Chain A
Amino acid sequence: MSHNNKSSEMRVTFINPKGGTQTVMGEVGESIMRCATYHRIPGIIGECGGAMACATCHAYIDEKWAHRLLGKSTQENEMLSGCIDTRWNSRLTCQVRLNEELDGLVIEVPKSQT
């Protein structure tokens, strides 16, 4: 992944439940999980590589942004139902792709994963 094409970059902020936020540049078209692992955000692992098979990339999408995302598949819902401390705005971040409208997106990492 290049991470150097400025025209397709956008800001994504990750909130760590233990304190601190980290704002990074994500690329349009990549998943939030890929963006997080590229920037080594603690608590978002994506160990299966984005196949909805490991449940290690669960995170909360800030309420302001959550309703702007496309709906979840039944498989994502099934996986989320087995994650710890889920909320209405929980997502598997491997299933959410960044686009220009999400510039400034805020993601909170669950406490159970950090």
Chain B
Amino acid sequence: MDALAPLLPEVDFAYDEVTDLHELIQKLRPHGPVVRVKYLGAPVWAIIDHAELNQAFNDLEHFDPGDGYRIISAPSMGNTLQTMQGEEHRVSRASVAAPFLPASVRGYVERMIEPIAHELMDRIAGQREVEFVQAFTRPYPFTVITRLLGIPVSDEAMLLEWAVKLIDFPWDPEGALKSKAAFDAYMQGIIDDRRRNPTDDFVSMLVKAEFEGQRLDDERILSLFRLLFPAGSDTTYKNAGSLFACVLSDPEIRAQAMRGGEERAAIATEGLRWQAPTAMLPRMATGDIKLGNAHIKKGDWVLFGITAANRDPKVFPDPDRFDPSRDNRELISFGRGVHFCLGMHLARRELETALRVVFERYPDIRLKPDARIEFVGGVLRGPRALWVQPYGKA
């Protein structure tokens, strides 16, 4: 058999819904920590074991994310933290970090995250049955970002349209570039305003930010804003959906979620492990390397199997079980190394706040008894839909 031919050739991890992704990963696991699979119609590598993935995340010589992202996203997203390398990345990241660090994020919970959760809960008042992804988990992190950016409610729908198109470059280059122009022109107005009248909000923090004598120019700020939606909204909404699917399925977990902050933090972390929203992250190898059993060549596409590593039985015993009490120190959902997810603290506070507010407002909320929950997606993964009954029995 050709060692470079894909295992499971009938499955395309980009195009297929892979509702059975974790079963597929179990079939791949005996073949080694790095395997061949099909992605976008062609064979690629997939790193599925925790130790090798951890090594790859920390190895910028062979797995610098810049090369891959320059092809997939740079034309419409610009030079973002994902494409920057070395010193440019270090300085830029340090310059934009402050509003994402624990002290700032703690402030957003009361001022912004909690009120948004309540607003969305208000909208489902009186309804016996609700599709929770559309009603809550999707708009929730998106609205957190638009409010952080100071965008008025009346413009949110327009922003959503541009944000969705921005990352569509591989499929619709013209549409993506048009959206970029519109998005930039709109956001430039907000940046100009904060340069003239700085406040203590998120945009003002970036406008005023200084690190090692350098300040952020408009393009640096715009490139961060473009990245916020795919990096911070799509991921969190998928994960919030998976989290509620688990919590509402299990009376014991649900009781824990209603108990206190520590319990909710542990449940959110286990949700991030059990169904990582960024399931398989595509990267392009930047050098030749033997990793595990695989001889990876520069220019090869490699899927970083985050969700597979999070269920590696060598690190997480009985990995398919949703168990908030387990030791989750080795969680790899936010990556590792210098490109570690900048929005980690924000994402965690959003998930914990969601658990608190939803059960405060609808203590009897439950899954619609006959509705089937299917998790879909090999790259970004979450439930297709989540039908709930906010008041319990409809």
A54 near B340 (CB under 8 angstroms)? Answer: yes
Which single member of A48, A78, A82 contacts B102 (CB below 8 Å)? A82
Residue of A nearest to B98 (CB): A82
The 9 closest A-B pairs by CB, nearest first: A82-B101, A48-B340, A53-B340, A49-B336, A51-B338, A51-B337, A84-B102, A78-B94, A82-B103
Residue of A nearest to B99 (CB): A82
Which single member of A49, A75, A81 contacts B54 (CB below 8 Å)? A49
- With A40-B329, A53-B93 as known contacts, state yes or no: A83 contacts B336, CB within 8 Å: no
CA distance A74 to B54 in the complex (A): 27
The smallest beta-carbon distance between A64 and chain B, in angstroms, is 27
**Which of A40, A82, A83, A112 has the most C-beta atoms of chain B within 10 angstroms of its own C-beta?**
A82
Which single member of A47, A51, A78 contacts B98 (CB below 8 Å)? A78
Tell yes or no: B362 within 8 A of A by CB.
no
**Beyond known contacts A78-B211, A82-B101: 8 more, CB 8 A cutoff:** A47-B331, A48-B337, A51-B338, A75-B94, A78-B98, A79-B97, A81-B103, A112-B102
CA distance A112 to B94 in the complex (A): 22
Across-interface contacts of B345 in A (CB, < 8 A): 55
A51 near B329 (CB under 8 angstroms)? Answer: no
Tell yes or no: A31 within 8 A of B by CB.
no
The smallest beta-carbon distance between A21 and chain B, in angstroms, is 20
The smallest beta-carbon distance between A108 and chain B, in angstroms, is 17
- With A49-B337, A78-B211 as known contacts, state yes or no: A54 contacts B98, CB within 8 Å: no
Across-interface contacts of A82 in B (CB, < 8 A): 97-98, 100-104
- With A84-B102, A84-B106 as known contacts, state yes or no: A47 contacts B97, CB within 8 Å: no
Across-interface contacts of A78 in B (CB, < 8 A): 94, 97-98, 211
Interface residues of A in 90-114 (CB under 8 A from B): 112
Across-interface contacts of B336 in A (CB, < 8 A): 48-49, 51
Tell yes or no: B188 within 8 A of A by CB.
no
The tally of residues in A whose CB lies under 8 Å from a CB in B reads 19
A51 near B90 (CB under 8 angstroms)? Answer: no
CA distance A53 to B337 in the complex (A): 7
Across-interface contacts of A49 in B (CB, < 8 A): 54, 57-58, 336-337, 340
Interface residues of A in 35-70 (CB under 8 A from B): 37, 40, 45, 47-49, 51, 53-55
Across-interface contacts of B322 in A (CB, < 8 A): none
CA distance A48 to B103 in the complex (A): 18
Across-interface contacts of B101 in A (CB, < 8 A): 55, 79, 81-83
Across-interface contacts of B103 in A (CB, < 8 A): 81-84
Tell yes or no: B359 within 8 A of A by CB.
no
The smallest beta-carbon distance between A8 and chain B, in angstroms, is 24
Residue of A nearest to B262 (CB): A114
The smallest beta-carbon distance between B113 and chain A, in angstroms, is 16
Across-interface contacts of A74 in B (CB, < 8 A): 94, 211-212
Q: Mark B335-357, 1 if CB is under 8 A from A, else 0.
A: 11111101011000000000000
B211 near A51 (CB under 8 angstroms)? Answer: no
Tell yes or no: B391 within 8 A of A by CB.
no
Across-interface contacts of A79 in B (CB, < 8 A): 94, 97, 101
The smallest beta-carbon distance between B204 and chain A, in angstroms, is 16
CA distance A12 to B101 in the complex (A): 28
The smallest beta-carbon distance between A22 and chain B, in angstroms, is 16
Tell yes or no: B334 within 8 A of A by CB.
yes
Residue of B nearest to A82 (CB): B101
**Which of B57, B104, B335 has the most C-beta atoms of chain A within 10 angstroms of its own C-beta?**
B335
Across-interface contacts of B340 in A (CB, < 8 A): 47-49, 51, 53-54
Across-interface contacts of B104 in A (CB, < 8 A): 82
8 contacts between A and B (CB under 8 A): A47-B331, A48-B334, A49-B57, A51-B338, A53-B93, A78-B97, A78-B211, A82-B103
B102 near A47 (CB under 8 angstroms)? Answer: no
Which single member of B90, B211, B327 contacts A40 (CB below 8 Å)? B327
A55 near B94 (CB under 8 angstroms)? Answer: no
